[in-house]
Amino acid sequence: MRLIKVFILLFLASATFAQDVPEDLIKTGLESNIVLKQKANNYQKSLYALKEAKGFFLPSLSLNARYSIADGGRTIYLPVGDMLNPVYYTLNKISSRMYELGVADEVFPLLEIENEEINFLRPTEQETKLQLVQPILNPQIYFNNKIKASLVEAEFADVNTYKRQLVADIKTAWLNYVSCLEILKLIDETQVLLEENLRVNRKLVENDKATNDAVYLAKSEISKLDEMRSNTIMQKKTAEAYINFLLNREPGTEISIIADSVFEMKLVDLESAKSQAAENRDELDMLEAYRKAAAYNLKLNSNNKLPVIFGVADYGFQGEEYKFTDKDDFAMVSFVLKWDLFTGFQKNQKINQVNIDYENIELQQEEALQRINLQVINSYYRLESAVAKIVSAEQRVEYSEKAYNIVNKKYKEGQANLLEFMAARNEMTEAKQNLVLSKLNYKIQLVDFERVTASYKFNETENDEQ
């Protein structure tokens, strides 16, 4: 038992798992997978949103033009005649008297001025101007930029989370595919034994040393093997189709196969595995990014009570007609302050809501870390079990081969019956098949351990492309 424990520890690798999976398949999947492309697009979209948020720091320049035609509306009554006509009448009287006395050379004309009614709206009017607006003090712009930056981090972590899952899916599908090939090789080897057994039984029947039931049983075993081959081929095709689906390739595309390579192993304990997962899992990075976004959102709403100040500069032309002369142009610079002094306590309630969102994300972080620790623990012990099963499976193959060789020799010498021979042969075949499946399970558990500890290393260019 102690030997098995040491064997298990030697097989727990911290960084390099399932290296026999062709890297070109993983590279193709990371470049072509449709779901990954969608998530990469979402990440790119978040980058554009961040650039949009940064744009609010810069001034905005707009061209505003207005031409209006008006009729009716309010009027302004100016009693000009009532005010000036008595004055003009008096001046006329005075100038007439002075003219009669020879003091004045002429008489002031007697003018009759009508009262005026002026429409408030001009019949025609135009205003064409350039307007420049520059934010001076606006906390919403600053914290909104911080929120968008945090969401970019979250989208990037989401992309990496799926990439790790995609790598694990590709490796698992490929291992299933290769295991089907191994089982088919085992079936072909067994086929040779069964064909030889059928040949021997026919000879025994011809020599009256056995009855026909021995031939029928041998043929039955061959038929059973054919059924096993058919099922395995179906599983191989299914695994092949799934690999091509993950890689976004045409169905039926050939799957590359390489020989098993030697794993690079080093000791790792459970606590180290949990620490590695806590440090590298992208889900935790994503939640941390959301927590930062929630914190900035809380600050944004808390600072909504501050005033907003921005500057406005206008330059353009006004008049009843379109004339762009120095007599028609105008310029104006304004500093605008907006300060919401009372909003019915809406902002306080919004702050309370955002604060709850922040607390919930912190709880999600705590729950996620516990869930990841549980995943690491379960995967760690499944890997231990998988290695122990390989040790048992190899011993079973060794013993079953020895038993088969002994029974086969006795059967040829007539010292063992057909049932004993078939039982020994079936045990050996099942033992070899079990070894293949045990190795498959071991490698799949390696892939899972690699995923839950986030120990697969992406190339820098792969992350840069995202």
* Residue 128 belongs to a domain: no
How confident is the model at residue 221, as a pLDDT?
86
Q: Is the pLDDT of residue 340 over 70?
A: yes
* Residue 234 belongs to a domain: yes
Lowest mean pLDDT among 179-183, 354-358, 409-413: 409-413
93 plus 241 within the same structural domain: no
82 plus 144 within the same structural domain: no
For residue 36, what pLDDT band results from cuts at 50, 70 and 90? Answer: very high
Residue 341 is encoded by which pair of tokens?
């002094």
Query: 3-class DSSP state for residue 133?
Result: strand
How confident is the model at residue 241, as a pLDDT?
94
106 plus 192 within the same structural domain: no
How far is Cα 20 from Cα 447, in angstroms, rounded to an integer?
11
147 plus 172 within the same structural domain: yes
How confident is the model at residue 14, as a pLDDT?
33
* Residue 253 belongs to a domain: yes
Q: How many domains, in total, are found in the chain?
A: 2
46 plus 168 within the same structural domain: yes
306 plus 189 within the same structural domain: yes
How confident is the model at residue 101, as a pLDDT?
78
Q: Is the pLDDT of residue 160 over 50?
A: yes
How confident is the model at residue 265, as a pLDDT?
39
pLDDT digit string, tens, across residues 239-254: 999 999 999 999 888 8
203 plus 310 within the same structural domain: yes
Q: Is the pLDDT of residue 198 over 90?
A: no
Q: Which of residues 103 and 429 earns the better pLDDT score?
A: 429
* Residue 374 belongs to a domain: yes
Global confidence as pTM: 0.76
315 plus 403 within the same structural domain: yes
* Residue 126 belongs to a domain: no
183 plus 85 within the same structural domain: no
Tell me, what CATH number does 148's domain have? 1.20.1600.10
User: How much is the average pLDDT of 4-19?
Assistant: 38
Q: Is the pLDDT of residue 263 over 70?
A: no
450 plus 328 within the same structural domain: yes
Task: Say how many C-beta atoms besides its own lie within 10 A of residue 443's C-beta.
Answer: 24
* Residue 125 belongs to a domain: no
How far is Cα 121 from Cα 406, in angstroms, rounded to an integer?
117
Q: How high does pLDDT run on average in the chain?
A: 85
* Residue 155 belongs to a domain: yes
108 plus 248 within the same structural domain: no
For residue 366, what pLDDT band results from cuts at 50, 70 and 90? Answer: very high
221 plus 94 within the same structural domain: no
Lowest mean pLDDT among 5-19, 109-123, 367-381: 5-19
How confident is the model at residue 9, as a pLDDT?
39
- What residue numbers bound the domain in which 77 lies? 72-120
Query: 3-class DSSP state for residue 240?
Result: helix
In angstroms, how far is the first alpha carbon of the chain from the final one?
47
* Residue 457 belongs to a domain: yes
Note whether 449 and 379 are within 8 A (CB).
yes
Q: Is the pLDDT of residue 19 over 50?
A: no
Which among 263, 309, 254, 320 is positioned nearest to 121, based on CA atoms? Answer: 320
Which residue is it, tokens 């935790």? 284
pLDDT digit string, tens, across residues 49-73: 999 899 989 999 999 999 998 877 7
Q: Which of 54, 87, 120 is the last residue of a domain?
A: 120
